[in-house]
Amino acid sequence: MDNICEIMIPIANDFWLVAMQNKDDPYNKEIFIGIVDKSGVWHQDLAVVRNAYKYEKDKNGRDKVVWKDNEFDVLVYSDRNNPDFTHDFTIGLYQDEFEE
């Protein structure tokens, strides 16, 4: 996949705050937010932000990703000793009251 987005911001103690687009198709509509060490090694997950999705079976019975319009998931890793996310939120897309 071309044009993968990555943002790196230097922070204290030779670490970097990073937001990186998922390179795996079909999950390219999500970003990982975390900490990278000075060697470029992923150190800690902070959050995943993505277009919400669900799985549906294709004609061969395999799961396929179906993106949900106007919904976003935020997965937060708030416990530094737990490798799994600890909180998850679904956020609807803001609609201006004058939009149709």
Q: Each residue of 31-49: pLDDT tens digit?
A: 999 999 999 999 999 999 9
pLDDT at 1 over 60: no
Residue 37 lies in a domain: yes
Q: The domain containing residue 19 runs over which residues?
A: 6-92
For tokens 């922070």, name the residue: 11
pTM above threshold 0.75: yes
CA terminus-to-terminus distance, the chain: 34
pLDDT at 94 over 50: yes
Residue 57 lies in a domain: yes
Residue 99 lies in a domain: no
**How high is the pLDDT of residue 25?**
85
**Cα–Cα distance between 63 and 28 in angstroms, integer?**
17
Residue 88 lies in a domain: yes
Residue 97 lies in a domain: no
From the list 24, 25, 72, the residue with the least C-alpha distance to 52 is 72
For tokens 């998922």, name the residue: 22
Longest dimension (CA), the chain: 51
pLDDT at 28 over 70: yes
Average pLDDT, integer, range 66-88: 95
Residue 98 lies in a domain: no
How many separate domains does the chain show? 1
Average pLDDT, integer, range 10-25: 94
* SS3 call for 72: strand
